[in-house]
């Protein structure tokens, strides 16, 4: 018996070590701040980098530089910049640690309900699906969603562990010979989560709220059901202290941000950028079901549907199999409540579905539980290793050789701008009416001295007017204008006249490539 326990612990340690190494390696391959890439190729990460570096240099996010992610996003990025003396390599280190935590928590959460062999199969299967192809569901590994994923997995681990411990108490009491005649429910307190766990889950919810407030639907589902459970069992005292600790955790994370912005006279800027703008932005996307999403590659849409089918199908098979484990049944039921709501998110991107990993892992775990019961033990030991090696190898080949994230050789556009920034290292770039895209703020050492250095996807007329004012005043050094297919030659002539009147001339145009028109200020 002792040898078996020791062997299980050794297996767990080995799996955790391999997961940590995998997280570091895969983040290294996908991260736009990795030294294997010449420049930051992710538009969103360009924004976070500029916002965070600006904050470190005295600018106030939202007031002096505009983006619409929650303020905790820029704290995380700022920590990475501080770690390596404001060199962006530190961001890679921070998110490598974040992804290590997420990979390990997937396995440890499965281990709460399944033996190591089934947990290994489930962990390998779900992570493989998130890295199954180029431009994977896991995306760059350095988005705010990856930090949210970590705190969601922490919350889920605490939640499932609490239910497991509660079930152990009931089972122990039910098996006691002296208590056989009495109901275990009358003897075991219905309070499932201790004060520390409720406070920690509250902290996690607060962290999510300060990055992407809509993702708090997770906590409304899991914790909401628990609060209803306490009311149902007439545990008024436990209900109030549980609510109090949960809300205290949220307040402890959020309050410092509101105090900071109030003291700097920028509270209205925070409220507009993070709350007002995002609410309007979310309302314009509409509902997109399964394979009707405009911004997600088809292979990722198929993967999303496959994961949903695995969750729903495995849960159904689990119930039909007659397995009498109420913990898994309860967790599966609660997972199913927000799944469809999140799959039917308004206009979203592939990396958003990394946030569904805490839900998908249960369907994958249950599927693995059923699958392993039909397979020889030898296969269940070999198959995960073979699958992991194949997926990582295939992903590496595509990422570095077949479909690299940036061209192996510099394009004419990149070479021209590299030449410009070599002689103008402190030049600021305005992405005029466009999202951040390209290498301008990787080659330039400057920070924008204007608020709207890029245009959000749902930019307002006031934002456009302010950018037009920058050009007329001749403030930016470089203007990157992306010509969309609906822009004809007549309009381009008007744009050229407008830029010329602001004191700019056309420096480069790569119409045959990505349709960027670059204007630089006259010397």
Q: How far apart are CA 42 and CA 439, in angstroms?
A: 9
Tell me the CA distances in angstroms from 51 to 46, 221, 463, one per residue in order. 9, 33, 17
Q: What is the pLDDT of residue 1?
A: 47
Phi/psi of residue 475, nearest 5 degrees: -80, -50
Do 166 and 188 touch, CB atoms closer than 8 A?
A: yes
Closest Cα partner for 28 from 99, 80, 82, 86?
A: 99
Per-residue buried b or exposed e for 72-90, using 16+ beta carbons within 10 Å of the residue's own CB: bbbbbbbebbeeeeeebeb
DSSP structural state of residue 519: E
Q: What is the pLDDT of residue 214?
A: 86
- Indicate the domain borders of the chain: 2-400, 412-521
Q: How far apart are CA 34 and CA 27, in angstroms?
A: 8
Do 479 and 516 touch, CB atoms closer than 8 A?
A: no
Q: What is the pLDDT of residue 322?
A: 61
Q: Which residue has the tokens 């924008």?
A: 448
Q: CA neighbours within 13 Å on the CB side: how many for 450?
A: 26
Sheet of 429-432: strands edge to edge?
A: 429-432, 478-482, 516-521, 504-509
Q: What is the pLDDT of residue 270?
A: 97
pLDDT tens, the chain, 523 aa long? 455 555 678 889 999 999 999 999 999 999 999 999 999 999 999 999 999 999 999 999 999 999 999 999 999 999 999 999 878 999 999 999 999 999 999 999 999 988 888 899 999 999 998 998 888 889 999 999 999 999 999 999 999 899 889 888 887 776 664 555 554 445 678 889 999 999 999 999 999 999 999 889 888 878 988 998 899 889 999 999 999 999 999 999 999 999 999 999 999 999 999 999 998 887 666 555 556 666 788 888 888 778 777 777 776 776 666 665 655 555 555 555 555 555 555 557 888 888 888 878 877 887 888 788 788 888 888 888 898 999 899 899 988 888 899 988 998 999 999 999 999 999 999 999 988 988 999 999 889 999 999 999 889 999 999 999 999 999 999 999 988 888 888 998 999 999 999 999 999 987 666 688 999 999 7
Strand partners, 61: 65
Do 78 and 55 touch, CB atoms closer than 8 A?
A: yes
Q: How far apart are CA 67 and CA 11, in angstroms?
A: 45
Q: What is the pLDDT of residue 237?
A: 94
Closest Cα partner for 392 from 204, 200, 124, 158?
A: 124
The first and second tokens of residue 46, run together, are 């360009």
Closest Cα partner for 401 from 89, 79, 29?
A: 29
Q: What is the pLDDT of residue 419?
A: 95
Report helix angle 89-111 to 144-174, nearest 10: 20
Q: How far apart are CA 187 and CA 59, in angstroms?
A: 58
Do 153 and 109 touch, CB atoms closer than 8 A?
A: yes
The first and second tokens of residue 458, run together, are 């749902």
DSSP structural state of residue 271: I
User: SS3 letters for 32-51?
Assistant: CCCCCCCCCCCHHHHHHHHH
């Amino acid at each position: 018996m002792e040898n078996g326990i020791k062997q299980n612990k050794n297996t767990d340690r080995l799996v955790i070590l391999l997961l940590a190494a995998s997280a570091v390696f895969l983040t290294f391959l996908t991260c736009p701040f990795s030294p294997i890439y010449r420049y930051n190729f992710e538009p969103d990460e360009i924004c976070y980098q500029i916002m965070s570096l600006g904050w470190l240099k005295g600018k106030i996010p939202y007031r002096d530089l505009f983006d619409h992610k929650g303020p905790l996003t820029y704290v995380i990025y700022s920590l990475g910049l501080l770690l390596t003396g404001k060199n962006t390599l530190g961001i890679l280190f921070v998110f490598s640690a974040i992804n290590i935590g997420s990979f390990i928590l997937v396995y440890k959460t499965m281990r709460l309900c399944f033996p190591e062999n089934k947990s290994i199969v489930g962990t390998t299967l779900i992570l493989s699906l998130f890295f199954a192809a180029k431009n994977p569901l896991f995306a760059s590994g350095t988005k705010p969603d990856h930090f949210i994923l970590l705190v969601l997995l922490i919350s889920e681990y605490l939640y499932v562990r609490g239910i497991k411990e509660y079930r152990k108490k009931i089972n122990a009491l039910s098996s006691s010979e002296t208590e056989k005649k009495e109901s275990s429910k009358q003897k075991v307190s219905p309070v499932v989560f201790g004060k520390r766990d409720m406070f920690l889950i509250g902290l996690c919810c607060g962290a999510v709220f300060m990055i992407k407030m809509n993702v708090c639907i997770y906590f409304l589902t899991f914790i909401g059901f628990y609060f209803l459970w306490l009311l149902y069992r007439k545990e008024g005292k436990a209900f109030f202290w549980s609510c109090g600790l949960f809300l205290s955790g949220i307040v402890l994370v959020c309050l410092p941000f509101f105090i900071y912005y109030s003291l700097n006279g920028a509270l209205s800027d925070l409220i507009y950028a993070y709350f007002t703008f995002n609410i309007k932005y979310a309302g314009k996307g509409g509902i997109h079901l399964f394979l009707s999403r405009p911004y997600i590659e088809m292979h990722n849409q198929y993967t999303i549907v496959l994961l949903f089918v695995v969750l729903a199908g495995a849960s159904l098979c689990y119930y039909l199999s007659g397995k009498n484990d109420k913990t898994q049944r309860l967790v599966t039921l609660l997972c199913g409540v927000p799944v469809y709501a999140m799959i039917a998110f308004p206009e979203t991107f592939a990396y958003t579905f990394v946030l569904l990993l805490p839900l998908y892992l249960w369907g994958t775990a249950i599927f693995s539980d059923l699958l392993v019961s039909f397979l020889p033990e030898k296969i269940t030991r070999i198959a995960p290793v073979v699958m992991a090696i194949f997926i990582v190898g295939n992903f590496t080949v595509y990422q570095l050789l077949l479909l690299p994230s940036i061209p192996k050789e510099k394009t004419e556009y990149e070479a021209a701008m590299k030449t410009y920034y070599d002689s103008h290292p402190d030049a600021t770039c305005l992405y005029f009416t466009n999202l951040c895209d390209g290498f301008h703020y990787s080659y330039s050492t400057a920070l924008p001295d204007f608020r709207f250095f890029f245009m959000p996807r749902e930019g307002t007329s006031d934002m456009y007017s302010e950018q037009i004012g920058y050009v007329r005043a001749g403030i930016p050094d470089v203007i990157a204008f992306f010509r969309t297919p609906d822009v004809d030659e007549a309009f381009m002539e008007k744009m050229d006249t407008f830029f010329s009147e602001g004191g700019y001339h056309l420096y480069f145009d790569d119409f045959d490539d990505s349709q960027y028109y670059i204007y630089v200020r006259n010397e």
